[in-house]
Chain A
Amino acid sequence: MKGRLHPAQARVDARQGARALAIWNSFRTCILSVMLLACGPFLSGASEPPSAAAIAPPAAAAPPDDGQWTMPAKNYASTRFSDLTEINEGNVKNLQVAFTFSTGVNKGQEAAPLVVGNIMYIVTPFPNIVYALDLSRPGAPMKWKYEPNPEPAAQGVACCDVVNRGAAFADGRIFFNTLDGHTIALDANTGKPIWNAHIGNINIGETITMAPLVVKGKVLVGNSGGEMGVRGWVKALDAGDGHIVWTAYGTGPDKDVLIGPDFKPHYDMDKGTDLGVTTWPPEAWKIGGGNMWGWISYDPALNLIFHGTGNPGPWNPDLRPGDNKWTSGIFARDPDTGAAKWFYQWSPHDLHDYDGINEQILLDMTWQGKPRKVLVRPERNGYLYILDRTTGEVLSATAYGPVNSSKGVDLKTGRLIANPDKKTGTGKVVRDICPTASGLKDWQPSAFSPRTGLLYIPHNNLCMDEEGVEVNYIAGTPYVGMNVRMIPGPGGNRGAFTAWDVAAAKPAWVLKENFPVWSGTVVTAGDVVFYGTMEGWFKAVSARTGDLLWQFKTSSGIIGQPITYRGPDGHQYVAILSGVGGWAGAIVSGDLDPRDATAALGFVNAMKDLKNATTAGGTLYVFRLP
């Protein structure tokens, strides 16, 4: 199961990262050499934390753990790290089920449960039911449920299953989004709706699947629809009454993108006026994507939010010559006004549906001898980027798996160096492009432990054939223009779970999984990492070595986000939603036909056997020590 990364992995950054302290380096070498005997001094006491203290999230964005879980990313720095230690490497093997709960919805369960006080909150895929479970009573009975009754027709315009990635809690309220384009605030105690803002229009193919983030009294929400020719946006809604405070578009003139005098991008390629118009064929930006359906982080000290932008539409790049700003990139914005501070484009003129919306983990670290405020982004195009989050400068970009669609990142210009052999276009079949449209990693969020200095990345290992075709824009229907068929990547394992040494910019260890690892992950101060597989295994592995410590087979494949919390009884619990689906699992949740290699935008071809491995489901599992 355990192995080094495939040799096809391309290293692009010759620069070795900041040298962590010597003791940390020797610790890591020990893991790599797998000569555990030689590691005696390090393995003897888990009590001695590794020296990675050099890398830690900024305190303001990752306050001390209170045992709750109030937002999917755990904190504004998005570490998904818990300080709880009751469950640890030594005793995790004894974990057992505390209680389960059926969501009643057999679609892909991508959400993270929330725990606030004595209550757990979960939001289901369409029809987006919110349940509140009372953790203070035996069996965690339902306290209330809220059914928003979204329009059934929304299911037809959701690109990749009818998922929802979770809710957010702030000031006594639960905020969540519905597939048919509503953001709703509920009284966390009673489940009574406080406001309901209708901000997305399914008739143009707009849906909402992301989890909102609440920052300074504003609920930040973005739309999905990059496969439907939907113009992307992020909106800030007033947490009090739901009115729109600002809207920042992902394409179009500067005033729509909220680019003004404060905008200082680091690279020349992102400088100019109205690039969101001029880097497109006439009018194409209006239906050009750049949607924001992923993760937002927030640095209170800098007063900046960071969010990515999705792929340009249509996928067929011949139909949109130009850099297609501001798609497949990342913005830093002032949360009060939405004003853009900087932007960096991961994939200018994206050729392969490399959305730029993955999670960004905010960390402070020493880089080449100097303290830097960075953000770390395992990106869909296959590179793990370290950016200076004050300026948007790329410090390093290193492939964390097999990549042949590009040849690295030019650190002078910041530009991704596309591989001309893998350029797609109309009427052309291009084979063996790695990674796939779903990326080396898609939305499934990683976790960072300041104790190990490792970033735990759940990801895919897939390649694809692509054929560009003509496509008509018909509002409310797909605008893709690409036949895609995916295949397993080098080695044949379709998924991997990689522990990435941030300081050294290389993997510490890699676990191979048969199916894409489409679940999120959580890491704890007990040095345990949890993640799930699409067969339905919920696994605990050592944060230091990757050794499998415990696993439990749930009723359906897992694509959800695990969390851990301190229950009302003072004990530590771990929770995960099981229920296969999402883009990777659409073959099961949508009962698709594997004889068509292009089904589910080509993903089905790589997942033909998933129907034999699992069935649809929707169940919450909560574990604790006996």
Chain B
Amino acid sequence: MRQALALLLPLTLALVACQREERDTRPQSALGSGEQPTPVTTLEPGGQRPSPTDNKAASFEANAFHMSEGKRLFSWFNCSGCHANGGGGMGPALMDEKWLYGSSIESIHATIRDGRPNGMPSFGQKIPDDQIWELSAYVRALGGNAPSSAAPQRNDGMMVHPSENRLPDAATLGKSP
């Protein structure tokens, strides 16, 4: 009996400690609902104002389920064709610390939704808004900007780069390797 208790206690503790994130597994699927304009620059005449945050961002950012969905969609919508598995190709690298249009999840969302002039297609009419948020959350993870406890883990197939949950934060790397 005592032994059983001794076993049970750590088990219960472990279970309690394992706080699960909230999962909204069926996000609404309406097209293009993220209408909020996102400035392309932080420069503003008359002094900088706080950058606008989208209230959707919080529910997607750093969320393990949404990031793993984003990873799947990253191949599904051929992002990987242009950005490879984050190292870039026809499009720029997304795993490094260099951002042309901003690294916030809102900026990345705007990039995917509206496109960018030098060859980033606009996916706003092709991908439901919540999936664009999932992609954005995953792109943040590619750059090492997601907690390792939530970022996707290693692939089943070819190891193309260290898994997302082991990628160091690109910004702290100093220089590109």
Residues of chain A touching chain B, judged by Cβ–Cβ distance below 8 Å, are: 152-160, 227, 427, 429, 465, 467, 469-472, 474, 476-480, 483, 485, 586, 590-601, 604, 611
Complex: A427 Cα to B157 Cα, angstroms: 7
Q: Are A590 and B95 in contact (CB under 8 A)?
A: no
CB of B89 to closest CB in A, whole Å: 5
Query: How distant is the Cα of A155 from the Cα of B115 in the complex, in angstroms?
Result: 13
Question: Quick check: B95 and A596 within 8 Å, CB to CB?
Answer: yes
Question: Which residues of B line the A interface, CB within 8 A?
Answer: 75-78, 81-82, 84-93, 95-96, 98, 117-121, 126, 157-162, 167, 176-177
Q: Give the nearest-CB partner of A476 in chain B.
A: B121
Judging by beta carbons under 8 Å apart, are B92 and A153 in contact? no
B81 near A483: Cβ-Cβ < 8 Å: no
Q: Which residues of B lie under 8 Å from residue A596 when comparing CB positions?
A: 84-88, 93, 95, 160-161
How many angstroms from the CA of A465 to the CA of B90 in the assembled complex? 20
Kindly list chain A residues whose C-beta atoms are within 8 Å of the C-beta of B78: 471-472, 474, 477-479
Q: Is the CB of A158 within 8 A of B90?
A: yes
Measured CB to CB, the closest approach of chain B to A565, in angstroms, equals 35
Given A596-B87, A598-B84, CB of A590 within 8 Å of CB of B121: no
B88 A600 Cβ-Cβ under 8 A: yes
New contact pairs (16) apart from A592-B92, A599-B93, CB-CB < 8 Å:
A152-B117, A154-B119, A227-B81, A472-B76, A474-B77, A477-B78, A483-B85, A483-B158, A590-B93, A591-B88, A595-B162, A596-B86, A597-B87, A598-B85, A600-B89, A601-B89
For B95, give its contact among A154, A477, A595 (CB under 8 Å).
A595
* Contact status B160-A152, CB under 8 Å: no
Q: Which residue, B82, B118, B119, B177, has most C-beta atoms of chain A within 10 A? A: B119
Contacts A/B (CB < 8 Å), 14 sampled: A156-B121, A158-B119, A159-B89, A160-B90, A467-B158, A471-B81, A477-B81, A478-B90, A483-B160, A591-B88, A591-B96, A592-B89, A595-B95, A598-B160
Q: Which of A470, A480, A595 has the most CB of B within 10 A?
A: A595
Residue in B closest to A468 when the chains form the complex, CB atoms:
B157
Find chain B residues with CB under 8 A from A160 CB: 90
Given A474-B77, A611-B176, A593 and B86 contact (CB-CB distance below 8 Å):
yes
CA distance A427 to B156 in the complex (A): 10
For B119, list chain A residues within 8 Å (CB): 152-158
| A597 vs B98: C-alpha distance when bound (angstroms) | 19
Task: List chain A residues, Cβ under 8 A from B176.
Answer: 591, 593, 611
Chain B proximity of A315: nearest CB distance (Å): 11
Chain A: minimal CB distance from B96 (Å): 5
Whole-angstrom distance between the Cβ of B157 and the nearest chain A Cβ? 5
Complex Cα–Cα for A600 and B93 (A): 10
Once the chains bind, are B160 and A474 in contact (CB under 8 Å)? Answer: no
A604 CA to B84 CA, complexed, in Å: 10
Docked CA distance A128–B82 (Å): 22
Q: Does A155 contact B160, Cβ atoms closer than 8 Å? A: no
State A485–B118 Cα separation when bound (angstroms): 26
- A274–B177 Cα distance when bound, in Å, is 51
User: Do B91 and A156 touch (CB < 8 A)?
Assistant: yes
Across the A-B interface, the 3 shortest Cβ-Cβ residue pairs:
A156-B119, A478-B81, A596-B87
* B93 CB to nearest chain A CB (Å): 4
List the B side residues contacting A591 at CB < 8 Å. Answer: 88, 92-93, 96, 98, 176
Residues of B within 8 A of A471 (CB): 78, 81
Report the nearest B residue to A604, measured CB to CB.
Answer: B87
Nearest Cβ in chain B — how far from A154, in angstroms? Answer: 7
Least Cβ–Cβ distance between A116 and chain B, in angstroms = 34
**Do A592 and B93 touch across chains, with their CB atoms under 8 A apart?**
yes
Q: Which of A152, A478, A480 has the most CB of B within 10 A?
A: A478
With A598-B160, A601-B84 known as contacts, the answer to whether A156 contacts B118 (CB < 8 A) is yes
- Which chain A positions have C-beta within 8 A of B161? 595-598
B126 to chain A: which residues have CB within 8 Å?
Answer: 474
Write the chain A residue with the least CB distance to B93.
A593
B-chain residues with CB within 8 Å of residue A465 when the two chains form the complex = 158
Q: A593-B95, A598-B160 are in contact. Are A159 and B90 (CB under 8 A)?
A: yes
Q: How far is the CA of A601 from the CA of B121 in the complex (A)?
A: 19
Q: Is the CB of A597 within 8 A of B121?
A: no
**Is the pair A479, B87 in contact by a Cβ cutoff of 8 Å?**
no
Query: In the complex, A318→B89 CA distance in Å?
Result: 24
Q: Which residue of B lies closest to A590 (CB)?
A: B88
Complex CA distance for A624 and B96, rounded to whole angstroms:
43
A593 to B89, alpha carbons, bound, how many Å? 9
Are B87 and A592 in touch, CB under 8 angstroms?
A: yes
Determine the distance from Cα of A152 to Cα of B119 in the docked complex, in whole angstroms.
7
